[in-house]
Chains A and B, each alone.
Chain A
Amino acid sequence: MTALRQWLQDPSPASRRQARLGQMWLAWLRIRRNRLAMAGLVIVGTLLVVAALAPWIAPHDPLAQDLTRRLLPPLTPGNLLGTDDFGRDILSRIIYGARITLYIIGLVAVTAPVLGLLIGTVAGYFGGWVDATLMRLTDIFLAFPRLILALALVAVLGPGIGNAILAIALTAWPPYARVARAETLTVRNSDYIAAIRLQGASPARIIAGHVVPMCLPSVIIRVTLDMAGVILIAAGLGFLGLGVQPPLPEWGLMISSGRKYLFEQWWVATMPGLAIFVVSLGFNLLGDGLRDVLDPRSAAR
């Protein structure tokens, strides 16, 4: 253990891998000192564990209705967070809802940044009219309010989880394109790119092999920070009835079904909202900490 630590902290690393791992180790040390970021990491970790182990943790079947046990308040024996209007256990529904949330943000996280990276690096690398056209397109999409564009898209495609994800991904890519383009512009004219070009590498190879890796850190930070927003938009679509459809236990949908009972049975709408809030806060805290650690430009002086 100490030998490993020494190897990681070696001020004169023997290989590129050692240097890189050493950097990551230092970053980890720094983020570990950041208490808020660690709290975020714990929340995101918990979300992953809860989603993975949902069938074993959840006390009840999230879809099982029991009309004799409708709208029970929190702390009822057997229903820690109470039950909803169909007598379903709210805690179990929140636990299973973690899977849906994770599914949505997972799919958005692997589609939108890829699209954005592609457009941004191509625009930045080629410059000229390619750049002008692609960036104008990006601006147009950026000019669209995200939720409204997602609404319009869902209206066309029809409600449902798949279409909601598609709509969110289609509205989420422009910021990544901006970030990727900015990074590409800074490396495009560097000598090592020129060297690779002189070796006869094709633009596709240069972009995929040498430009994209340079953009990844900033894109990863953005993804983490963006996930909170994605959770909120997904929940908003669910709340409006345009995302995940009943009876699936999506958190936004659960809030909307609890709205009818807001003043008498407050917990039905409150509990799933807390879940959204905590998870989204977790991603924000983590992303914030990552940015402080990995992005020296925006680090506090």
Chain B
Amino acid sequence: MTGSPVSGNRAFVLAGRIGLGLGSLAITILGLLLITFLISRVVPIDPVLSIVGERATEAQIAAVRAKLGLDLPMWQQFLIYVRDALTGDLGTSIRTGEPVAAEIARYFPATLELATLGTIFGTLVGVPAGVLAATRPGSLADQVVRVIGLMGYSMPVFWLGLIGLLVFYGQLDWVSGPGRLDPTYDMMMQFTLTPYTGMILIDSALNGAWDVFGNAVSHIILPAGLLGYVSMAYISRMTRSFMMNELGQEYITTARVKGMPEWRVVWVHAMKNALVPLITVITLSYAYLLEGSVLTETIFAWPGLGSYITDALFAADMPAVLGGTVVVGAVFITLNMASDLLYRLVDPRARA
């Protein structure tokens, strides 16, 4: 017999895990900053020249160098970089002269809105599809789910986006085209409504502006459906594999011996166990959507983080590129950590 599992004890263990997790989170984020720092130092674009211009005197260049801290030893520069990043200072955009962090804060909600909706689609379709395939291995339904999933794995998302625009916008005219809103609604959004979150669907609903909401839906449905398909491909495959594994376990036989109906065997007994790894998969796919939005946002002229990074890239605006990279990386790492915590909450074995 193992020791008595008092609930207070469990909470204590969990708190310890969180502490450990925060420690490794800190190290990973430090590594992330080190990599972006190194990239920024080998970049062939001289930040000093871009500030003072080609005709600056030696003295002017030296003054700016000192002001930017570029005359310090590398390790000191890195420490300053880390300190700045942790206090929310990601540098100044060369293109606009605005702080990168403030710009990202403006662009990020659009990406978040898109990726969240995509993940919701992907989960709502992918999990049942995977379960269906796992309960009837080798059947027609299984084959269909498998092929549709593999196709999602194999499709270039930017191409699928173009085809989607061509068919649903160009030919059928069922949805609105690129952008988050039509220009008139965009004006309404900007000048008459209170921005609570920066996510148009939520803000327009909170303001009761249902016409704006409807227009936003007609814009987001195609890119979100697209990302949803990509994430569905991943989630359905993983669900199938986890459920197949669980349905072959002995406790499933126990449940059947107890006379439990099949829906309960599958959706309660097997699903509760498959959920443990599935949580990791769903958070990972959420993180990938946040990243994968780079190409989708380009196609749909979606003013999100992906568009921000690519636009900055073409303007050789390195602070903006690296700032965006740091933010995406940090979100990625945080989501990973969150999935780890959720995992422990769902799996009693991981708590002990």
Tell me how many residue pairs across A and B have CB atoms closer than 8 Å.
141
Indicate if the CB atoms of A259 and B162 lie closer than 8 Å. yes
Indicate if the CB atoms of B313 and A148 lie closer than 8 Å. no
Which one, B25-33, B117-125, B205-213, B216-224, is touching chain A?
B25-33
A32, chain B: closest CB distance, angstroms = 17
Given contacts A252-B156, A270-B163, contact A145 B287 (CB under 8 A): yes
B residues with CB within 8 A of A: 27-28, 31-32, 35-36, 39, 42-44, 137, 146-147, 150-151, 153-160, 162-163, 165-166, 170, 241, 244, 248, 287-288, 290-292, 294-295, 298, 309-310, 313-314, 316, 318, 321-322, 324-325, 328-329, 332-333, 336
Which one, A2-10, A89-97, A152-160, A198-206, is touching chain B?
A152-160
What residues on B are CB-neighbors of A241 within 8 Å? Answer: 314
What residues on B are CB-neighbors of A137 within 8 Å? Answer: 31
Indicate if the CB atoms of B28 and A147 lie closer than 8 Å. no
What residues on A are CB-neighbors of B329 within 8 Å? Answer: 143-145, 148
With beta carbons under 8 angstroms apart, the residue of B153, B295, B321 that contacts A228 is B153
B287, chain A: closest CB distance, angstroms = 7
Can you sample 30 A-B contacts with CB below 8 Å?
A143-B31, A143-B332, A143-B333, A144-B32, A144-B332, A145-B291, A146-B291, A147-B295, A148-B291, A148-B294, A148-B309, A148-B325, A151-B325, A152-B325, A155-B43, A156-B43, A158-B44, A232-B154, A232-B156, A236-B157, A252-B156, A255-B159, A262-B162, A270-B166, A273-B162, A281-B150, A281-B154, A283-B154, A285-B150, A300-B244
With beta carbons under 8 angstroms apart, the residue of A139, A232, A269 that contacts B28 is A139
Chain A 275-287: CB-based contact to B (< 8 A → 1; otherwise 0): 0110011011100
Identify the closest chain A residue to B38 (Cβ).
A156
A283, chain B: closest CB distance, angstroms = 8
Give Cα A152–Cα B151 distance, bound, in whole angstroms: 28
Give Cα A298–Cα B31 distance, bound, in whole angstroms: 33
A258, chain B: closest CB distance, angstroms = 8
Given contacts A228-B153, A273-B156, contact A140 B28 (CB under 8 A): yes
Indicate if the CB atoms of A144 and B294 lie closer than 8 Å. no
Give Cα A177–Cα B241 distance, bound, in whole angstroms: 23
What residues on A are CB-neighbors of B27 within 8 Å? Answer: 136
Indicate if the CB atoms of B287 and A269 lie closer than 8 Å. no
Indicate if the CB atoms of B42 and A255 lie closer than 8 Å. no
Indicate if the CB atoms of B318 and A155 lie closer than 8 Å. yes
Given contacts A136-B27, A240-B298, A262-B165, contact A281 B151 (CB under 8 A): yes
A residues with CB within 8 A of B: 36, 136-137, 139-140, 143-149, 151-153, 155-156, 158, 228, 232, 235-236, 239-242, 252, 255, 259, 262-263, 266, 269-270, 273, 276-277, 280-281, 283-285, 288, 298, 300-301
Give Cα A119–Cα B137 distance, bound, in whole angstroms: 38
Give Cα A228–Cα B314 distance, bound, in whole angstroms: 27
The DSSP consensus for interface residues of chain B is: helix
Given contacts A145-B288, A277-B154, A288-B150, contact A151 B32 (CB under 8 A): no
With beta carbons under 8 angstroms apart, the residue of A148, A269, A284 that contacts B154 is A284
What residues on B are CB-neighbors of A284 within 8 Å? Answer: 150, 153-154
Indicate if the CB atoms of B336 and A153 lie closer than 8 Å. no
What residues on B are CB-neighbors of A281 within 8 Å? Answer: 150-151, 153-154
What residues on B are CB-neighbors of A266 within 8 Å? Answer: 166
The DSSP consensus for interface residues of chain A is: helix
Give Cα A154–Cα B111 distance, bound, in whole angstroms: 23
Indicate if the CB atoms of B31 and A140 lie closer than 8 Å. yes
What residues on A are CB-neighbors of B333 within 8 Å? Answer: 143
Give Cα A266–Cα B151 distance, bound, in whole angstroms: 21
With beta carbons under 8 angstroms apart, the residue of B151, B292, B324 that contacts A147 is B292
Given A145-B288, A147-B292, A151-B309, 14 other A-B residues pairs in contact with their CB atoms under 8 A? A140-B31, A144-B332, A145-B290, A145-B332, A146-B291, A148-B325, A152-B321, A153-B39, A155-B318, A156-B43, A236-B294, A252-B156, A263-B170, A281-B151
Indicate if the CB atoms of A156 and B39 lie closer than 8 Å. yes
Give Cα A276–Cα B163 distance, bound, in whole angstroms: 14
Identify the closest chain A residue to B169 (Cβ).
A263
A169, chain B: closest CB distance, angstroms = 16
Most buried by B among A137, A139, A143, A269: A143
Indicate if the CB atoms of B155 and A277 lie closer than 8 Å. yes
What residues on A are CB-neighbors of B137 within 8 Å? Answer: 300
What residues on B are CB-neighbors of A146 within 8 Å? Answer: 291
Indicate if the CB atoms of B162 and A255 lie closer than 8 Å. yes
Identify the closest chain B residue to A298 (Cβ).
B241
Indicate if the CB atoms of B154 and A280 lie closer than 8 Å. yes
What residues on A are CB-neighbors of B162 within 8 Å? Answer: 255, 259, 262, 269-270, 273
Give Cα A166–Cα B226 distance, bound, in whole angstroms: 29
Q: Which 8 A-B pairs have the closest CB atoms?
A: A273-B159, A145-B291, A140-B31, A281-B154, A280-B154, A263-B170, A143-B333, A301-B248
Indicate if the CB atoms of B159 and A276 lie closer than 8 Å. yes
A90, chain B: closest CB distance, angstroms = 14
B49, chain A: closest CB distance, angstroms = 17
Indicate if the CB atoms of B310 and A151 lie closer than 8 Å. yes
A244, chain B: closest CB distance, angstroms = 15
Most buried by A among B27, B154, B155, B322: B154
What residues on B are CB-neighbors of A301 within 8 Å? Answer: 244, 248
Most buried by B among A146, A252, A262: A262
Give Cα A269–Cα B170 distance, bound, in whole angstroms: 14
What residues on B are CB-neighbors of A252 within 8 Å? Answer: 156, 158
B352, chain A: closest CB distance, angstroms = 23
Give Cα A146–Cα B248 distance, bound, in whole angstroms: 35
What residues on B are CB-neighbors of A242 within 8 Å? Answer: 313
Give Cα A284–Cα B234 distance, bound, in whole angstroms: 13
B263, chain A: closest CB distance, angstroms = 21
